[in-house]
Amino acid sequence: MTGKRVYVGMSGGVDSSVTAALLVERGYDVTGVYMKNWSRDLPGMKCPWAEDLADAKRVAVQLGIDFKVFDFENEYRHKVVDYMIDEYKKGRTPNPDVMCNQEVKFKLFLDAALEDGADMIATGHYARIITRDDLAYLQMALDANKDQTYFLYRVSGEALKRVLFPIGEYTKPQVRDMAKERNLFTASKKDSQGICFVGQIGIRDFLRQYVEEKAGNIIDKKSGKIIGVHEGAIFYTIGQRHGLNVGGGLPYYVIGKNMDLNEVYVTTDLNDGALWSNQIRLIDIHWINSHPKASQYKIRVRHRAPLIMASLDYSNDGLNLSLENSDRQVASGQSVVIYDGDICLGGGIVV
């Protein structure tokens, strides 16, 4: 692969910095690219994009590689941010990281890089790619705790043929050590938290900038009594415990909400049927390569959740999953991802 021209998505973090360093050492012709996806400041929160850009530039200088900025802000707002806000308004709980990977990193970035002369792209994701019979398969990372295939399940197999994930073969501590050994500027930089494109801010604080807070009742499902007041049903999701501000006694869990009435329904009963289910209905199905043939696979219902066995029942417009044992209810709008061993096959969106 020596001489192959690779554009590396450099976010200003340690993972993408080590990704670029490893590719340089392996003989690739590397160009660093910062994707400018979001630059808007929010009340009490300065968007870190300028600092991240500066950090990415510093590492590029250290490595002696070319550096570019791709501005995707308009497309990002439409394809990721607007999508997320619309989903929350419908009472659903979307995953913006999944949409970011599908629409931006492995579509917009890939297309722009190839058009600019790249042969491939690379990112600092914890995942691996294996190729068999001219097909590219998405494989779980060596570091199971950091594995990010859950967020990558909507990337196409064709795109994966043009992608490299160098750090998928290492653990996070090893990546940190490699950054320190190379004296990379970002070696001790903390990992970003919060929303994928904003930084250190929670989803509720972000949504407040786009939706009006509207007080409504918190209702105990069993008694039917009003036990508190919330700031808007849009801010709550199934299974949520924190942020209800209902004092005293056993903890309450959100088991439902009515967007039209702006009501949130809760219970203290952890065995309530609304919190558990052995049936999941998926729509908007995406397979990385071909439609899988078997009727049973392991699934992951949320990031870092253990893999559990499920039976698949295909229908024209979706996929029904039957679990061996009841599991915590998955909020509408979230993703369930399907695996064959350590190979990510694809998945879908919960109805």
**What phi and psi, each to the nearest 5 degrees, are found at residue 345?**
-90, -30
Q: Is 58 left (phi over 0), alpha (psi -120 to 50) or beta?
A: alpha
Tokens 């559990």 identify what position? 308
3-state class (DSSP) for residue 194: coil
Cβ(78)–Cβ(43) below 8 Å: no
Torsion of the alpha carbons at 136, 138, 143 and 144, rounded to the nearest 10? -150
- CA dist., res. 261 & res. 141, Å (int): 44
Active site residues: 100, 196
Tokens 């300028």 identify what position? 50
Both tokens of residue 65? 């590689």
Cα 323 from chain centre: 23
Cβ(4)–Cβ(120) below 8 Å: yes
Both tokens of residue 285? 């199905």
Instruction: Please give the C-alpha separations between residue 56 and each of 22, 61, 63, in angstroms, as whole numbers.
Output: 15, 9, 11
Instruction: Using alpha carbons, select from 199, 259, 234 the residue that is nearest to residue 85.
Output: 234
Both tokens of residue 112? 């722009």
Instruction: Using alpha carbons, select from 28, 35, 112, 37 the residue that is nearest to residue 63.
Output: 28
Please list, in sequence order, all residues whose beta carbon lies within 8 angstroms of the beta carbon of residue 224, skipping any fewer than 6 positions away.
none
Cα 141 from chain centre: 15
Tokens 């967020």 identify what position? 151
Instruction: Using alpha carbons, select from 316, 319, 315, 314 the residue that is nearest to residue 336.
Output: 319
Both tokens of residue 77? 């707002």
